[in-house]
Structure 1
Amino acid sequence: MLQLSPTGTKILKILHLLVVMTWTVSIIAMWVLSWISYDTGQELFMYYKCMVWIDRLLTVPAAILSIGTGFFYGLLTPWGFFKQRWIIVKWIVCGVVTLLASLVFYPACQHAYGTILQNYDAALNNNQVLTSLKMARDASFYQAIALIFLVVISVFRPWRKHQPLNVK
């Protein structure tokens, strides 16, 4: 089985950490942005435009690269994919976060963004747009918590395999 050298493993770890940080911080940025108030349709449009740009330029590429570097980490290092319970939990949580963002959050925001583009000021009173705003705030909060949880279990590595004591 092909394995990376210690230097290669460190480089992969650096890349993985950088993209995980980018993914997490971009989600937190969207959550912080969701608390900004807006008084006009133009401000609402700019809010959504910022959310879309953060998502397209930072969140999505970082999520894809994070999953990719995690895949190579499992493939090319002794950690593997299923040798440790905490790694299995990371894959499950990462998959759930990615699926919910792709299948629920993103389509709702795209639809609301289209509504805002049609008429800025009318969108201020549109229930679907307002629901989407709340969904964006909630989704980014829960995604941020999940990603921070993944970082924590990466550091503490709980649920390790039971190693019996070698007593003689």
Structure 2
Amino acid sequence: MKSLGITGQKWLKTFHLFAAILWIGCGVAMNLLRVAVTPTSPEGMSTLSLAIKILDDLLIFGGVIGILVTAIVYGIWTKWGFFRQRWLSVKWLLTIVMVLIGWIIMGPAVKGNVQSPEWYLSNMDTYDANLATSAVWGPVQLLLLTVVLIISVFKPWKAKIKRP
């Protein structure tokens, strides 16, 4: 199979980095919003929840899809392959873990708080539980993203995995 040339690889790296910046930057923004903005009115809670959901649905999702697509292109059309290096295998594993955390845990918590202002008057327990879920898992996601970033830069365990 034909591999990407130098210019193609530079463009691929550019798109991969842009997607990573999107994912990490929006993760930071979502966590900052959750911590720094503490609305007391139902309207404020609704607005905050909607802002966080928009970041999640548009930008985080775009970053994740961008990372996955560019990683697949890296795997198919460059010398790196998918699992030829241990550090790549760890990155794939952590990326899958982050996607699952986002999809199974964070997504429902974020979406669960996007309601009409009246909902907050009688559902504060649910709102608080969803915020607590985000307060635990949001920083976990940022930590994992940071670990993946560090692995990408330092490429530890660089020995190739032997194929039988």
Q: TM-score, normalised by structure 2?
A: 0.91
CA distance in 1, matches of 2:61, 2:157: 29
- Write out aligned runs for 1:77-88 (5 A): 77-88=78-89
User: What's 2:31 paired with?
Assistant: 31
Q: Match of 2:108, as an amino acid?
A: P
CA RMSD of aligned residues (A): 1.5
Gaps of 5+ in 1: 163-168
Name the structure 2 match of 1:159: 157
Unaligned runs of 5+ in 2: none
Q: CA offset at residue 51 of structure 1?
A: 0.4
3-state DSSP of counterpart to 1:80: coil
Alignment-derived partner of residue 16 in structure 2: 16
Report the Cα distance in structure 2 between the residues aligned to 1:22 and 1:108, rounded to whole angstroms: 21
Larger Rg: 1
What are the superposed Cα offsets for residues 33-58 of structure 1, whole Å, 9 maximum, x if unpaired? 11121111111111101001111120
Of 135, 139, 142, 1:144 maps to 142
Report the counterpart of residue 126 of structure 1 in structure 2. Answer: 124
Moved over 4 A (4+): none
User: Per-residue deviation at 1:103?
Assistant: 1.3
CA contact 2:43–2:117 (8 Å) conserved in 1: no
TM-score, normalised to structure 1's length? 0.89
Shift of 1:128: 1.4
